[in-house]
Structure 1
Amino acid sequence: MFPWSRRSDAAPQADSAPRAPGDLRGQVCVVSGSTSGIGLALARAAASHGADVVLNGLGDPAEIERTRAELEASCGVRVRYHAADMARGDEVADMVAFARHQLGRLDILVNNAGIQHVEAVETFPSDKWEKILAINLSSVFYATRAAIPIMKAQGRGRIINVASAHGLVASPFKSAYVAAKHGVLGFTKTVALEVARDNITCNAICPGYVETPLVKQQIADQARTRGISKDKVVEDVMLAAQPTKKFVTTEELAGLFLYLVSDLGASANGASFSIDGGWTAQ
């Protein structure tokens, strides 16, 4: 057993006082896969509205520490880092226990970690299939299973699963990713029904293509490879499925996230929120 996995003698106190929209002071938020991209944007949104945060994810240790320290200093909250491997259920559960031990409670769980591999089914590597299912789907189960008892004891909780437009529709050559994200939506609904009377909600956000540093680099790479402009790469290659021909921004995702974790989002439960420029309306 990890040292912080032992239960504290003091149970977390219920948080029943009404809060102004966007006020997350005194709350604790865990975000998997949050050292960059969508996860970091959601962690930053939580911290900037007063929540203490646990970061998780891959990257250069020195850069992760710079991110952690900057977020802590700029937002005036406590920020911790846990290096859980999202493919290992015991480490995922330990990340949740770590948050409770280090920061005293757990109010918001964001299951965001994910990886991708693109290949036809008949040649799709078995190890890639297993790892994608482990990180994109099973980690959601392990983290949620560990979080629910804490949230029940507190009398409130918010679980946000970052799925994808691919949780609602499919694309060729992404069998493992599409299967995992469809599974996340089914899991979201089941959890929502189980905890509906415990003042806990569980919802999924389904982004289309999001403008992140990694995507921006891919645009430049594809423009060079294809010999076309960056604008053409965006419109004709990357955003072919999105009618707006615009990337979803991390600020837009953060806005939806803040609504769902607020008291205003209390009746949103078991839902999948598309934020994809109209992709899944087709």
Structure 2
Amino acid sequence: MSLKGKTAVVTGSNSGIGLGIAIELAKAGADVVLNSFTDRDEDHALAEKIGTEHGVTARYIKADMSVGDDCRALIEQAGRCDILVNNAGIQHVAPIDQFPPETWDRIIAINMNSAYHTTAAALPKMREAGWGRVVNIASAHGLTASPFKSAYVAAKHGVVGMTKVVALETAQEPITANAVCPGYVLTPLVEAQIPDTMKEYDMSREEVIKNVMLVRQPSKEFATVEQMGGTVVFLCSDAAAQITGTTISVDGGWTAL
């Protein structure tokens, strides 16, 4: 599954799932562009490390995925974008009648609207290159729902729907668009949810993981960032050239229930 000669832009990729995906794409030979809203020395050092370890060109570009102009500027600054992985996301848990409106707006902007802006900017580049892959990191919550996650569920359902539209609009071109729907992946985002959930249910960390967080994940195991990256690499390969407009669940059986 060599991706040598391709350039991949991965949003929200200086940690967690995004970083795991960027590393696996680099392992497959793709040049990679890392992104987040910070602009620290360690962000650029991380990109340099990936490039050195895997013999590819790796860069870090700051862009705030809550700002549409920043999303589009990211793609322009990348110069080339054969592979676009829309991964950036945030989470907030609250009953809908207590959900802060500004938090709702920010979740929708980062988790869904950013994918619109980056995709709109990337498609002309893919068409010019004669090849392209759009991979949207949705969620099991793009296919089903959980209480107290209204903005996240709404955004991820929107991402799945938009993925299908992009696939139909590019169906007769050498461009595909698919959504990956992970269940729980052990990332900083998930780690951050554990303490609040422990307090809410008065449980230990182990009990929360098994009986609350993974209660809907039949495997009772977290997915890994390496598995997420491997799935994205497959979708970018020639073997997946006729896979478009669909979702791939990496959820330990969650959505089979």
Q: Give the TM-score band, short-chain normalised.
A: over 0.9
Bigger radius of gyration: 1
**Aligned with 1:96 (options 55, 75, 89):** 75
State the distance in 2 between where 1:229 and 1:172 align: 21
**Aligned with 1:164 (options 139, 146, 152):** 139
Residue 139 of structure 1 pairs with residue 117 of structure 2: no
Are the structure 2 counterparts of residues 23 and 207 from structure 1 closer, same or farther at C-alpha, using a change threshold of 3 Å?
Answer: same
The answer on whether the counterparts of 1:87 and 1:131 sit within 8 Å (CA) in structure 2 is yes
The answer on whether the counterparts of 1:45 and 1:254 sit within 8 Å (CA) in structure 2 is yes
SS of residue matched to 1:202: strand
For normalisation by structure 2, the TM-score amounts to 0.94
**Aligned with 1:62 (options 41, 63, 70):** 41
Residue 76 of structure 1 pairs with residue 55 of structure 2: yes
The answer on whether the counterparts of 1:243 and 1:278 sit within 8 Å (CA) in structure 2 is yes
The answer on whether the counterparts of 1:168 and 1:182 sit within 8 Å (CA) in structure 2 is yes
Residue 178 of structure 1 pairs with residue 153 of structure 2: yes
State the distance in 2 between where 1:272 and 1:81 align: 28
The answer on whether the counterparts of 2:44 and 2:59 sit within 8 Å (CA) in structure 1 is no
Are the structure 2 counterparts of residues 199 and 253 from structure 1 closer, same or farther at C-alpha, using a change threshold of 3 Å?
Answer: same
Offset at 1:175? 0.6
Residue 244 of structure 1 pairs with residue 223 of structure 2: no
Are the structure 2 counterparts of residues 134 and 265 from structure 1 closer, same or farther at C-alpha, using a change threshold of 3 Å?
Answer: same
Are the structure 2 counterparts of residues 233 and 87 from structure 1 closer, same or farther at C-alpha, using a change threshold of 3 Å?
Answer: same
SS of residue matched to 1:56: strand
For normalisation by structure 1, the TM-score amounts to 0.86
State the distance in 2 between where 1:34 and 1:70 align: 14
State the distance in 2 between where 1:216 and 1:127 align: 23
The answer on whether the counterparts of 2:90 and 2:189 sit within 8 Å (CA) in structure 1 is no
State the distance in 2 between where 1:180 and 1:220 align: 24
SS of residue matched to 2:85: strand
The answer on whether the counterparts of 1:203 and 1:268 sit within 8 Å (CA) in structure 2 is yes
**Aligned with 1:53 (options 1, 7, 32):** 32
Aligned to 2:7: 28
State the distance in 2 between where 1:224 and 1:123 align: 19
After superposition, what is the alpha-carbon deviation per residue over 1:94-131, rounded to whole angstroms, capped at 9, x for unaligned? Answer: 1001111xxxx321000000111111111211111111
Offset at 1:209? 0.3
After superposition, what is the alpha-carbon deviation per residue over 1:187-211, rounded to whole angstroms, capped at 9, x for unaligned? Answer: 0000000011111000000000001
Offset at 1:58? 3.9
Counting only pairs closer than 5 Å after superposition, residues 10-25 of structure 1 correspond to structure 2 as 22-25=1-4
State the distance in 2 between where 1:253 and 1:47 align: 14
Offset at 1:215? 3.3
Counting only pairs closer than 5 Å after superposition, residues 198-277 of structure 1 correspond to structure 2 as 198-216=173-191, 219=194, 228-277=203-252
State the distance in 2 between where 1:138 and 1:181 align: 11
The answer on whether the counterparts of 1:35 and 1:59 sit within 8 Å (CA) in structure 2 is no
Offset at 1:243? 0.9
Residue 126 of structure 1 pairs with residue 105 of structure 2: no
Task: Give, as a single letter, the amino acid of the residue that structure 1 aligns with 2:144.
Answer: V
Offset at 1:91? 0.8
The answer on whether the counterparts of 2:33 and 2:60 sit within 8 Å (CA) in structure 1 is yes
State the distance in 2 between where 1:125 and 1:251 align: 34
Provide the alpha-carbon RMSD of the alignment. 1.8
Aligned to 2:172: 197
Runs of at least 5 residues in structure 2 that lack an aligned partner in the other structure: none
Residue 110 of structure 1 pairs with residue 85 of structure 2: yes
Task: Give, as a single letter, the amino acid of the residue that structure 2 aligns with 1:32.
Answer: T
Moved over 4 A (4+): 216-229
Offset at 1:59? 4.8
Aligned pairs, number: 257
The answer on whether the counterparts of 1:52 and 1:79 sit within 8 Å (CA) in structure 2 is yes
SS of residue matched to 1:277: coil
The answer on whether the counterparts of 2:37 and 2:65 sit within 8 Å (CA) in structure 1 is no
